[in-house]
Amino acid sequence: MSQPAGLASTPPPLLGERTLMRITISGDDRYEGRATSLAIVDLLRTRGFAGATVLHGIMGFGARGTVHSELNEITSQGLPVVIETVETEARIAEVLPTLDRMIRGGVITLERAAVRLHRASAIREGQGSPEASPGSATAT
């Protein structure tokens, strides 16, 4: 299967000391007409990052101190969204200027991460369980 146009080649393994970047923004934020979280994931994907995860918060408050909660219809707008990715410090530094332009409000934190396991899921659509996959390894 060929790689979609514009994507970097398969990233190198992430094992070892890396940097966890955590971006917290409002779920309502938009960048160029679409959800900022989607735009950030697309940026990381096209730059060849190994992966990114978007987490939707159920409650939070930011710099203005207003509590947003899915438990209250009036304050359910602006719920927090967290995007996480793990990469080398240098690769993260390369995308920070672009992220600065994309994010109108929020916070970006960086912390050291010791990656001990990194592998693609063995389960793919139509392939069944990992145990049934040809060539799958089992731990002993």
Q: Where are the domains of the chain?
A: 16-116
- Work out whether strand 107-115 and strand 80-87 pair parallel, antiparallel, or are unpaired: unpaired
CA 106 to chain centroid, in Å, comes to: 15
Q: If phi over 0 gives left and psi between -120 and 50 gives alpha, with beta otherwise, what is residue 66?
A: beta
Tens of pLDDT, residue by residue over 49-82, are 999 999 998 888 888 888 888 776 655 578 899 9
For residue 128, the model assigns a pLDDT of: 54
Does this model's pTM top 0.85? My answer is no
- Work out whether strand 59-61 and strand 67-69 pair parallel, antiparallel, or are unpaired: antiparallel
Note the CATH architecture for domain 16-116: 2-Layer Sandwich (3.30)
Residue 27's nearest CA partner among 77, 70, 74 is 77
Residue 74's nearest CA partner among 62, 66, 82, 86 is 66
Mean pLDDT check: name the lowest of 54-58, 88-92, 109-113, 114-118: 114-118
